[in-house]
């Protein structure tokens, strides 16, 4: 059984979330949250600037997990998960500029995710239940092994 950690994040504009998670999930979430405020950069994949898939790829790479570079390929990685079974570290996908997955973020908790959006231009936390994201949700993928 993997070690677990209890983590509590209370970022501005998002409610506190307290979830039991593995040490690997906690480390990935911590890395992602430390990048809040990083500017959006189309094609960016470093802490100097990220696009959405560059952000997810970079965060997971810091923990030895290779993800494809493009959203469409990340959408095929891992295992498809029902939205009611979200876990920290899952990838959440939306259709924003195409009829299929064109945006990705990292699940923090039951109603929050962190991502690199082009609007307002910085890595930030959003609510999955906001009307904008709910209407555009196309899937969730689990890329972390849960044994």
9, 34, 63, 103: which one is catalytic? 103
63 in active site = no
Question: Which of 34, 63, 115, 127 is the catalytic position?
Answer: 115
Catalytic residue (one of 9, 34, 52, 63): 52
Is 34 an active-site residue?
A: no
- CA distances to 4, 72, 95, 114 from 98, in Å: 38, 11, 6, 21
Distance set, CA 127 to CA 11, 62, 63 (Å): 12, 25, 25
Q: Is 115 tagged catalytic? A: yes
**Active site members:** 52, 103, 115
């Amino acid at each position: 059984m993997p070690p677990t950690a209890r983590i509590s994040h209370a970022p501005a504009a998002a409610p506190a979330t307290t979830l039991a998670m593995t040490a690997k999930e906690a480390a990935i979430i911590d890395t992602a949250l430390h990048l809040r405020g990083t500017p959006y950069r189309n094609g960016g994949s470093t802490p100097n600037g990220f696009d959405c898939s560059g952000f997810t790829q970079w965060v997971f790479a810091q923990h030895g997990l290779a993800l494809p570079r493009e959203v469409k390929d990340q959408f095929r990685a891992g295992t498809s998960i029902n939205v009611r079974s979200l876990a920290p570290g899952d990838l959440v996908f939306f259709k924003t500029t195409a009829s299929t997955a064109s945006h990705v973020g990292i699940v923090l908790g039951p109603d929050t995710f962190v991502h690199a959006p082009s609007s307002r231009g910085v890595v930030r936390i959003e609510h999955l239940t906001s009307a904008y994201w709910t209407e555009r949700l196309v899937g969730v993928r689990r890329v972390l092994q849960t044994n």
